[in-house]
Structure 1
């Protein structure tokens, strides 16, 4: 019963979000509450579930609110304009080159395995460039999230660490064997970035041509790809920035913030609160200007924060009620006996869709041990099961609504979870299955 209700909650919420028929706040709050009531949980128990979920996202929500306002101010003063100018000059406004650069930058930034810090570095820095070139922010999210998924095979990444804990394995040993898979994945991702970049270039050109035909091209933001790229590359057009002295102070402030986040000297929320105060005092000495900037970016920050708090209701109910664990075990039990020797391959191929149904914890602490125990009885090795499940699932880590840091990335990009899933699901799934099959074919992952 729990499995059916959990599946219905997830299917209903995901479908409505993808179709844009319901707002994230409403869907993440009301649908799981109704599901929990149908499952027989009391209002008191549901309140406890919510409080548990709230405690898991509180730090992310508070950090996100202050981070959005902080980076909004950094954009207002033109801090990232020199970086954008340099990037466009290096790529000469080439959308394909920008797409490739995105995956490489995200990979470098995600070496620490922390999704929040990677989003905080890549999205604010690259989003203005994407906007200037008329590129979709959802392409930015797709490329960054896929690159982060590949780097999550590191031993300090969530999936590998959880797999090692669940099956009593060495996380470094798991990663060492997956290094060839990571290399294969990055090469394939660069190729996918090229293909997606070409598709995006054609889309921007078609949109620009349509604007020209409609007589609206002028200075229209979305048609700025070749014009802005060529102008910036030749140095004939330079966006306005703050004074040089303030620019260096602002840059130093951003680097200090990132350093404190990586070093974990202070909590991220406090770090961004202090950084926001410093940014306001440096760039806007007048109190009236400070309050005006807060109001200018406060709407987006609080709107995204509200979604995070609503996600706490969804996460808390689905995890604490036992719906996810029940769903994981019952899903495996429905397979016919003839499929048991290939169970790990089936779970690997379906790894990304399962990420929309199960949280990372449920996937590795509930589903993986169950698959491993069944597959090993059929003669499949534990390592073969582990590697297949990880590689099949890890690419989709940052498409799941269960991932708290994804909501941070969506907030920074001003994106919608439903549109992100609709835009990224099939490219990421096709890529995930391709990586798994290639890794199996070359022997990087054993078949059994």
Structure 2
């Protein structure tokens, strides 16, 4: 192993360990440690400045997208747009156990449109928990379905998870590219999840006497309350604005994604909250939520820049190519994808995307596999939803689910997630998305 490779692997291991143990901030790991590594391989300050500049150029568009897209959906959440969609659905369905489990998926998917994992659990579980108890549905099903729905809806061009993946690609509007590429598999997995949810509900219906059980829909709707920021009269204009933004992202990829959301945010603010003081107050609230995720995404470019332009990445790839048999090389990314559920117990989201994926992408490119293919294949790291290290919001989900133990949630969810993980990779491979 060359000295460059040794320093490169040491840097990634140190970053991973520090983030897993939560000893320092993500921003520290993405700035100080790569600079120290660059100094260790003999780079001077001028060279390091070049590495940083080139690396940041790979991530600045993604950071700008987060700067406008996440506040946009936070604003729409405040207007009540997602709540009104949920109310519309609830008014038009007759609740029973199979319908209830399917509703869990639908409501969770709608709630995840704003990109917030926490909001899915905070809205969906308290809303549906009384019904789960009423129909004797196993409450373990609810956080499981919510978690998979969150993973599914991560494939939107503004979601932090897909933005992390997009930051690893050099093409323009990489988030929209990944969204379109993964959309067929997203639709297939959503259909599979809905069928499985209904099956779980039917099994419950057979095992529990629910005859005569009735639900007061008005009581359920009463649990979704308006606030002073709600804008029920502007629901249709807000929905139209959101649809226009999404269509623009898909059809006009030559327009920078962040600019589309910037315009949407400005129009949405003026339409819903014309008072400038209120706009300023809301903007402060929304942008507070971006710390430290957006700076971390931006500064992840430092790690990528140092690894790539110092020669570390090439040296690391050569080391792996010397160790891994040639026959296995072209399929390494697929093997890692198939085992991503248990592997995520060893990673955080940041270390998965910024430590593991770049190395695998560079390695696979030596065997003719494009980086876009590798990034798309490794995008859906299912195991994040069983790891409280990668996704600490899981603690909230278990606590809301009638005080469920974390171990109970993991034991119930882990095997099902891994099966879905394998289905996702196998389906994407057969469709040609992952090859």
Relative to 1, partners in 2 of residues 1:287 and 1:341: Cα closer, same or farther, differing over 3 Å? closer
Structure whose residues are more often helix by fraction: 1
Relative to 1, partners in 2 of residues 1:38 and 1:427: Cα closer, same or farther, differing over 3 Å? farther
Relative to 1, partners in 2 of residues 1:264 and 1:17: Cα closer, same or farther, differing over 3 Å? same
The equivalent residue for 2:121 is 130
1:29 maps to which of 19, 28, 31 = 31
Instruction: State the distance in 2 between where 1:259 and 1:265 align.
Output: 13
Could you tell me how far 1:61 is from its partner in structure 2? 0.9
Secondary structure of 2:23's match? coil
Contact 2:31 2:302 in 1 (8 A): yes
Could you tell me how far 1:333 is from its partner in structure 2? 0.5
Deviation string 1:131-187 (CA, Å, 9 cap, x unpaired) is 212376865543445899xxxxxxxx999x99xxxxxxxxxxxx9xx9xx9699849
Contact 2:364 2:374 in 1 (8 A): no
The equivalent residue for 2:364 is 368
Instruction: State the distance in 1 between where 2:36 and 2:394 align.
Output: 24
Contact 1:391 1:436 in 2 (8 A): no
Query: Which stretch shifts more, 88-97 or 310-319?
Result: 88-97
The equivalent residue for 2:400 is none
Deviation string 1:325-376 (CA, Å, 9 cap, x unpaired) is 32122112124xxx5545555664235568764445x545x4235457xxxx
Contact 1:138 1:420 in 2 (8 A): no
Answer yes or no: is 1:190 the counterpart of 2:193: yes
The equivalent residue for 1:224 is none
Deviation string 1:15-67 (CA, Å, 9 cap, x unpaired) is 22233222211111112111111122122111111111211111111121122
Instruction: State the distance in 2 between where 1:236 and 1:132 align.
Output: 13
Contact 2:330 2:367 in 1 (8 A): yes
The equivalent residue for 2:238 is 250
Contact 2:54 2:305 in 1 (8 A): yes
Deviation string 1:239-262 (CA, Å, 9 cap, x unpaired) is 217444322222222122222222
The equivalent residue for 1:293 is 282
Instruction: State the distance in 2 between where 1:185 and 1:267 align.
Output: 29
Runs of 5+ unmatched residues, structure 2: 126-141, 158-165, 172-180, 205-214, 344-351, 396-409
Runs of 5+ unmatched residues, structure 1: 107-119, 149-156, 163-174, 202-228, 373-385, 401-405
Give TM-score scaled by structure 2 length: 0.61
Could you tell me how far 1:122 is from its partner in structure 2? 3.2
Q: CA RMSD in A?
A: 5.1
Correspondence list, 1:140-179, <5 A: 140-145=149-154
Secondary structure of 1:301's match? coil
Correspondence list, 1:15-414, <5 A: 15-87=17-89, 92=95, 96-97=101-102, 100-101=105-106, 122-124=113-115, 128-134=119-125, 140-145=149-154, 186=189, 190=193, 234-240=220-226, 242-262=230-250, 263-264=252-253, 266-335=255-324, 339-344=325-330, 348-351=334-337, 352=340, 357-359=355-357, 363-364=360-361, 366-368=362-364, 370-371=366-367, 394-399=376-381
Instruction: State the distance in 2 between where 1:10 and 1:421 align.
Output: 26
Query: Which stretch shifts more, 341-350 or 324-333?
Result: 341-350
Deviation string 1:191-238 (CA, Å, 9 cap, x unpaired) is 99759x99xx9xxxxxxxxxxxxxxxxxxxxxxxxxxx9767854444
Relative to 1, partners in 2 of residues 1:416 and 1:29: Cα closer, same or farther, differing over 3 Å? farther
Could you tell me how far 1:435 is from its partner in structure 2? 6.5
Relative to 1, partners in 2 of residues 1:435 and 1:399: Cα closer, same or farther, differing over 3 Å? closer
